Amino acid sequence: MPVELKSEAELEQMRRAGRINAEVRALLMEAIRPGVTGLQLDELAMSEIERRGAVATFKGYAPGGKPPYSGAICYSVNEQLVHGPPNDRPLMEGDIVSIDLGATYEGWVSDAAFTAPVGDVSQEALDLIRVTREALWCGIEAAQVGNHLGDVSYAIGEHSNGYGIIEEYGGHGVGREMHEQPHIQNMGRRGSGMPLRQGMVLALEPMLAMGHPATEELDDQWTVVMRDGSLAAHWEETIAITDEGPEVLTRID
């Protein structure tokens, strides 16, 4: 079952976890420039999370016999899609980088990601980044009481038309754990799936590629790359479904 917040107090806890995530992501965005490494960004994320009394959700995460995840952030460059452990390769002008951050505050988990250009990048890379972000917002707008989960997936997939929509990964419930039910595909059928209810907390995360959507995992057992080497982008927000509409808990502005 997805997390269903039982009170305004629980929603307030999730807002705190989300706000910390947003603040730290804003600092990471500002720090992105040619020459910076993933390890430097990870150190920044770690210290800013701890300074706010939160815990880096991803660090030490070890599902299904994988080696424990090394970072506070995921750092995925160009054809890397998601889950890249931070490394010491400096970012170069023209790269695009996806950064995913988990912050747990008093046991409540927030999960959010963005893709950013490093210096000047190609117009097609900028378009990929923009459309992926727009697809996320289409999904968020569809996350209304009375709609079904499939309406969210449909809205994301419709907007992603023309790009490779990754099928092996998707969004998820979030709250007491990083990954809760349900799994949320980034394409779907209108009216299908579970009905959305007040208090549900979801992480929506469209992932799009310039080329074919097939992915593979590198030998480190974490980094997911596009099999055809094409550029990929990833945006994610944690949202709460309320009777007044979706509330984005990890919003930066």
CB of 98 to ligand MF3, least distance (A): 10
What is the 3-state composition of the chain as percent helix, strand, coil, each rounded to the nearest 5? 30, 30, 40
Residue 42 or 205: the one with the smaller Cβ distance to ligand MF3 is 205
The number of angstroms, rounded, from the C-alpha of 14 to the middle of its chain's C-alpha atoms is 16
Binding mask 172-211 for Co ion (x = CB under 5 A): -------------------------------x--------
CA–CA separation, 149 and 143 (whole Å): 8
Q: Is 111 in the site for Co ion (CB under 5 A)?
A: yes
Give the interface size with Co ion as a residue count (CB under 5 A).
2
Residue 114 or 121: the one with the smaller Cβ distance to Co ion is 114
Residue 111 or 180: the one with the smaller Cβ distance to Co ion is 111
CB of 207 to ligand MF3, least distance (A): 10
CA–CA separation, 77 and 115 (whole Å): 9
Mark residue 175 as left, alpha or beta (left: phi above 0; alpha: psi -120 to 50; beta: remaining): left
CB of 53 to Co ion, least distance (A): 22
Residue 29 or 92: the one with the smaller Cβ distance to ligand MF3 is 29
Instruction: From the list Co ion, ligand MF3, none, pick the one residue 235 interacts with, judged by a Cβ distance below 5 to 8 Å according to partner type.
Output: none
Instruction: From the list ligand MF3, Co ion, none, pick the one residue 74 interacts with, judged by a Cβ distance below 5 to 8 Å according to partner type.
Output: ligand MF3
Instruction: From the list ligand MF3, Co ion, none, pick the one residue 69 interacts with, judged by a Cβ distance below 5 to 8 Å according to partner type.
Output: ligand MF3
Contacting residues for 98 by C-beta, under 8 A, at least 6 apart: 74, 75, 76, 77, 80, 81, 82, 84, 113, 114, 115, 116, 232, 233, 234
Residue 146 or 226: the one with the smaller Cβ distance to ligand MF3 is 226
Cβ atoms 202, 172 nearer than 8 A = yes
CB of 169 to ligand MF3, least distance (A): 6
Q: DSSP string of 159-214?
A: HTTTSEEP-S--EEE-SSSSSEEEEE-SS--TT-SPBP-TTBEEEE--EEESS---
Cβ neighbours around 234 below 10 Å, total: 28
What DSSP state is assigned to residue 148?
Answer: B
Cβ atoms 108, 57 nearer than 8 A = no
Instruction: From the list Co ion, ligand MF3, none, pick the one residue 237 interacts with, judged by a Cβ distance below 5 to 8 Å according to partner type.
Output: none
Residue 10 or 100: the one with the smaller Cβ distance to ligand MF3 is 100
By the criterion CB under 6 A, which residues form the site for ligand MF3?
58, 61, 69, 74, 83, 100, 102, 111, 113, 172, 205, 236
Enumerate binding residues for Co ion (CB under 5 A): 111, 203
